[in-house]
C-alpha cells in the first residue's frame, strides 16, 4: 500500500573508545567549530542545512566500552596520573547542539567474531525503513565497519529501496597541523561504483539495460542542467542510453519489424560513435560491451530478416528463453514468406505460410483438397515445400515448444524447464544453417 510518508533521512555512525583530540572538520566546503567528536561536526552540518527535521533520525552505535569512554562524560583517565579527565561525552555535546533531528544511541556487540559481526549487520538493517535516505559516517570503530557500511547500503537498496546519499570519513590523521583542520572525505562514489558493478553485471549476463540507463541518466542530469542541454558529449551519452533501452525493449517485447530493420540498433551505434568523452568513468568500460552486444545486427540494409536470428541468439545468450523461441519461430515464417514470394509484413500472407508449415505431410493433405480449391498449398509451391521437409519438422517442434512456454506447461507431457534453452539452441542452429547458409 502506498502512503504519503516523506522519505526519512537517517544518519548512522559508530562511536569508538579512543580519547579523541579536538580539531575543526571541513565538510562540503564548510568549516566546523573545534570538536572532539566528528559526529558533532557532521550532525551540526546537516542540522543547519534546513533539510533535516524531527521526522528524521540519527543513530549512534555503541559498544559497552564506547558508551563508557565517549558517550557519557568523563570516561577517560590521564595515562600518567590515572586521574579522571573532565570532559563532555558525545551525548551531552549533542544535547547542547539543539539538533533538528533526534539522536538515539544503539547498543551493539564488539564484533569479536563472525556471529557478532552478522548481529551488528542485522541491527543496522533493522534500523532502516522502506525508502530511507542513508547518511553513513565510517570514521570511528573497528576496521571492518566500512565494509559493513558498503554491504549494508547495497543490501538495503534492493530490499528496502534505501538510497545511499552520503558516506563520509573524518580524516583526522591527515589534518593540517598548522590550522588543526581535517577534511571529511566524501566516499559516496564507492556506493555508486557498487551500483555500476551491479548494473554492468545485469547487462552483460542478462541483457537487462534498465539499471545502466537509469544510472547514466541520473549522473547526466546535473551536467545537462549546468550546460542547459548544450553539452554535446552529454547529449550523445543520453541518446546512447535511450537507444540502448529501445533496443533491449524491442527484443524483450519481440518487436519483429524493429528487429529486422534494426532502427534502434542503428541509432545506438551512431550515438556510440558520437561519444568523444564518456564523462561517466564507470560507464567507459561498458561502452565496448554495449557495442559488442549488438555488433552482429545488420544496420546497413533497410531491413534484413537475418536480424531475427541475431535477436534470437541474443536472447539465448541473455537467458530470455521465451523471447528466443517466439522471435525464432516468427523469423522462420518471415524467411518462408520471402522464399516463396509472399510479403512477410502482410498478416494474411504470414498465415498462409503458417498453415503450410503446420502440415508435416503436404502430399497427404493435398489429396483431400479439390485441386481447384484456393488453398495455401495452391499458392505456395508444394514441391518446394516437400523438398524442405526438414524445415517443416523443425518449425513444428519449435512451435510446440513455444506453445508449451506460452501455456505454462499446462498440458500433457510438458517439457522440463532445464531442456528449453538447449532445444531452442539446437533448432536455432539447424534452421539458420538450412534457411540462411543454404
Find, among 66, 71, 60, the residue nearest to 10 by Cα: 60
Measured between alpha carbons, how far is 115 from 88 in angstroms, rounded to an integer?
33
Q: For residue 241, give every residue at least 6 positions away whose Cβ sits within 8 Å of its Cβ, in sequence order, or none.
A: 212, 213, 216, 217, 220
Q: Quick one: pLDDT at residue 372?
A: 47
Judge residue 293's burial from the number of C-beta atoms within 10 Å of its C-beta, 0-12 exposed, 13-18 middle, 19 or more buried.
buried
Predicted local distance difference test score (pLDDT) of residue 309: 97
Rounded average pLDDT per 10-residue block, the chain, 438 residues? 69 95 96 97 96 97 95 94 94 96 96 92 96 95 82 94 95 95 94 92 93 93 82 92 96 96 97 92 93 96 95 95 96 90 92 76 46 52 61 89 94 92 95 87
Q: In this predicted structure, what is the pLDDT of residue 336?
A: 87
The residue assigned the cell 543513530 is 59
Q: Three cell numbers at 92?
A: 551531552
State pTM to two decimals: 0.82
Quote the pLDDT of residue 362: 47
State the Cα–Cα distance between residues 428 and 146, nearest whole angstrom: 49
**Residue 76 pLDDT:** 95
Amino acid at each position: 500500500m502506498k502512503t504519503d510518508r516523506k522519505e526519512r533521512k537517517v544518519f548512522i555512525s559508530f562511536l569508538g573508545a579512543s580519547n579523541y583530540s579536538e580539531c575543526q572538520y571541513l565538510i562540503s566546503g564548510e568549516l566546523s567549530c573545534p570538536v572532539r567528536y566528528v559526529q558533532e561536526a557532521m550532525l551540526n552540518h546537516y542540522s543547519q542545512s534546513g533539510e533535516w527535521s524531527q521526522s528524521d533520525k540519527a543513530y549512534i552505535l555503541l559498544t559497552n566500552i564506547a558508551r563508557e569512554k565517549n558517550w557519557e562524560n568523563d570516561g577517560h583517565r590521564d595515562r600518567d596520573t590515572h586521574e579522571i579527565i573532565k570532559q563532555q561525552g558525545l551525548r551531552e555535546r549533542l544535547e547542547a547542539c539543539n539538533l533538528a533531528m533526534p539522536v538515539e544511541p544503539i547498543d551493539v556487540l564488539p564484533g569479536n567474531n563472525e556471529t557478532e559481526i552478522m548481529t551488528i549487520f542485522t541491527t543496522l538493517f533493522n534500523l532502516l525503513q522502506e525508502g530511507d535516505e542513508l547518511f553513513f559516517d565510517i570514521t570511528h570503530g573497528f576496521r571492518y565497519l566500512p565494509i559493513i557500511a558498503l554491504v549494508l547500503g547495497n543490501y538495503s537498496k534492493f530490499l528496502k529501496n534505501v538510497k545511499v546519499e552520503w558516506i563520509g570519513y573524518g580524516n583526522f590523521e591527515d589534518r593540517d597541523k598548522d590550522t588543526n583542520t581535517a577534511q571529511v572525505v566524501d566516499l559516496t562514489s564507492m556506493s555508486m561504483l557498487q551500483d555500476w558493478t551491479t548494473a554492468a553485471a545485469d547487462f552483460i549476463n542478462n541483457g537487462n539495460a534498465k539499471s545502466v540507463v537509469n544510472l547514466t541518466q541520473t549522473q547526466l542530469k546535473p551536467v545537462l542542467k549546468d550546460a542547459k542541454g548544450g553539452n554535446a558529449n552529454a547529449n550523445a551519452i543520453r541518446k546512447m542510453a535511450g537507444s540502448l533501452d529501445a533496443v533491449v525493449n524491442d527484443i524483450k517485447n519481440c518487436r519483429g519489424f524493429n528487429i529486422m530493420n534494426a532502427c534502434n540498433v542503428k541509432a545506438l551505434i551512431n550515438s556510440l560513435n558520437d561519444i568523444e568523452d564518456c564523462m561517466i568513468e564507470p560507464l567507459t568500460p561498458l561502452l565496448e560491451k554495449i557495442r559488442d552486444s549488438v555488433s552482429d545486427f545488420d544496420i546497413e540494409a533497410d531491413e534484413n530478416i537475418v536480424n531475427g536470428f541475431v535477436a534470437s541468439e541474443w536472447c539465448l545468450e541473455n537467458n530470455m528463453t521465451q523471447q528466443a523461441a517466439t522471435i525464432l519461430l516468427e523469423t522462420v515464417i518471415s524467411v518462408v514468406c520471402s522464399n516463396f514470394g509472399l510479403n512477410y509484413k502482410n498478416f494474411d500472407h504470414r498465415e498462409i505460410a503458417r498453415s503450410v508449415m503446420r502440415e508435416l505431410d503436404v502430399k497427404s493433405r493435398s489429396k483431400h483438397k479439390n485441386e481447384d480449391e484456393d488453398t495455401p498449398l495452391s499458392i505456395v509451391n508444394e514441391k518446394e515445400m516437400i523438398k524442405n521437409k526438414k524445415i517443416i519438422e523443425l518449425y513444428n517442434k519449435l512451435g510446440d515448444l513455444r506453445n508449451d512456454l506460452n501455456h505454462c506447461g499446462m498440458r500433457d507431457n510438458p517439457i522440463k524447464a532445464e531442456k528449453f534453452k538447449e532445444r531452442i539452441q539446437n533448432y536455432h542452429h539447424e534452421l539458420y544453417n538450412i534457411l540462411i547458409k543454404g
